[in-house]
Structure 1
């Protein structure tokens, strides 16, 4: 049986492995090597690998860490559940604003099978949830993580998941600036990254 400290270290290393592998695969060098090999299946393969990897991280965390709920006041427990439900709602609303076929890689495969040109990069999204925050998917994930922090496993997941999201957002900002240029730079000045502390930005 792992001690609590050992369990935290094991789970932290699992998150580190996910972050490191994700960063390597998302980098331009890896994409340039893998995309010619996988062709139109690159995006879907990338998403499937990331999903399996984070799933294994969560399974490992649940196995080595305590899932015994904390002795919280009823109001606190209900509040955490409310935060988690809010996070799911934010996540679902944000997903509706993306072209999920292109996001997942399925549109690229369908276009290839029809002999049609592959869809290009998605246009810069500045409507809907993106009028309030630049990264609504991350906002939803933060809320889900911290809404689930009712035991050792949930709290550790919130901590390491939040660190991963913070680092990931910084990398994504650089990628979006490179992709959209001045349009994204102007968007950055109008809309906050994660916390919707400003009034809604105009479309």
Structure 2
């Protein structure tokens, strides 16, 4: 029974990571093909470095999954870690779905659409960057679920720093586009860590 739970938990972690990685790659392709819809599009070195992240997620997921400890050899600590990792990964997946439901026009990359409106409700009323928080949760789920030093190192040394730079670049663009409206939103809603009872409708 515990072995089956361990195996399923690791499958959840890996499946969420694979789906997110592939989904972001497809979203970048869609954004590129629809690039004429944008009145402004930002692609500097920060965006270029961040574009590698979903491919790296796919590669690291394959690496940690292929080296996973078999269920029969898993310790109690590994079983708890697998469950914690699955919880983090599912939290990231749920947040990503909520982000999409909050803004159906969600796309990959830094751009401004001709009819772009500032989205401040739903997931975006909880944190300013729910999609990036979802990415961090998936990476942490991978590191914790598989007790992977590789995934943890990539998360700490690449994913977190590049997303913080990516957020800074995005917020500069949003301030240029929306001015005081975005400034007020930024002052009212936290960047990545939600405040208690902060979510809005």
Bigger Rg, which one: 1
RMSD across aligned C-alpha pairs, in angstroms? 3.8
- Write out aligned runs for 1:1-203 (5 A): 40=36, 53-58=52-57, 61=60, 68-69=67-68, 72-100=77-105, 103=107, 120-149=114-143, 150=146, 151-159=148-156, 160-200=158-198
* Structure 2: gaps spanning 5 or more residues: 1-31, 70-74
Q: In the comparison of the two structures, how many residue pairs are matched? A: 150
Once the two structures are superposed, residues 30-83 of structure 1 have per-residue CA deviations (whole angstroms, 9 ceiling, x without a partner) of: xxxxx9xx9728899x8xx99984454446556888953476432222111111
Match of 1:32 in 2: none
Identify if the C-alpha distance between structure 1 residues 41 and 135 changes in structure 2 by more than 3 Å, giving closer, same or farther. Answer: closer
Identify if the C-alpha distance between structure 1 residues 169 and 155 changes in structure 2 by more than 3 Å, giving closer, same or farther. Answer: same
Relative to its length, the structure with more strand (as a share) is: 2
Give the deviation of 1:145 after TM superposition. Answer: 0.8
Give the deviation of 1:141 after TM superposition. Answer: 0.9
* TM score, norm. by length of structure 2: 0.59
Q: Determine which structure has greater relative contact order: mean sequence separation of CA pairs < 8 Å that are 6+ residues apart, divided by chain length.
A: 2
* TM score, norm. by length of structure 1: 0.59
